[in-house]
Amino acid sequence: MPEATKRQTLEQKRADYAWEKIEEINQMDEKTRKKYGSIARKAPILVLTNGLGPTLAYLLGKDEAHQFLYNHVQSWIFPTQTPVEGDKTLIKYIGKCSSAEYRRLTMEALAILNWIKRFAEATLPTEEG
């Protein structure tokens, strides 16, 4: 296969990553799947409405399903970081970064959250139904 066709675009990498995370959630209990499915559908609008920092703080302060989503965003943005339960690397970082970097991280978080939302809509139940 030629080298050019082996390379994935950034959107393809995001999609692959999001699908992998949704597959992990699909292996969990029904309650976690429903909660994750519900919050994954809402997360992009939460970022647009409230901002990245407040949304991340909200995710960290809630139950396990919300924290899974926080960890999925964090591990996409900081892929070389080994995840540790309760790790607050991303939220600490955005509190110290420049406004330009904050905007860049917001756009990247929205991009990955949109892929997670798409796959959640396709495969995960929600708390509502």
Q: Which amino acid is at 95?
A: G
- Tens of pLDDT, residue by residue over 72-116, are 999 999 876 655 555 678 888 898 889 999 999 999 999 999 999
> Tokens at residue 70, please?
């926080």
Please tell me the distance from the alpha carbon of residue 55 to that of residue 98, in angstroms, as a whole number: 18
Q: Would the pLDDT of 32 be above 60? A: yes
| Interhelix angle 30-50/52-61, nearest 10 degrees | 150
- % of the chain residues with pLDDT over 90: 74
- Please state the domain extents for the chain: 9-123
Q: What is the pTM of this model?
A: 0.87
- Tens of pLDDT, residue by residue over 48-58, are 999 999 999 99
- Which residues lie closer than 8 Å to 83 by C-beta, 6 or more apart? 71, 74, 75
Burial zone of 42 (CB within 10 Å; 0-12 exposed, 13-18 middle, 19+ buried): middle
- What is 9-123's CATH topology? Peroxidase; domain 1 (1.10.520)
What average pLDDT does this structure show over 11-28? 96
What average pLDDT does this structure show over 8-24? 94
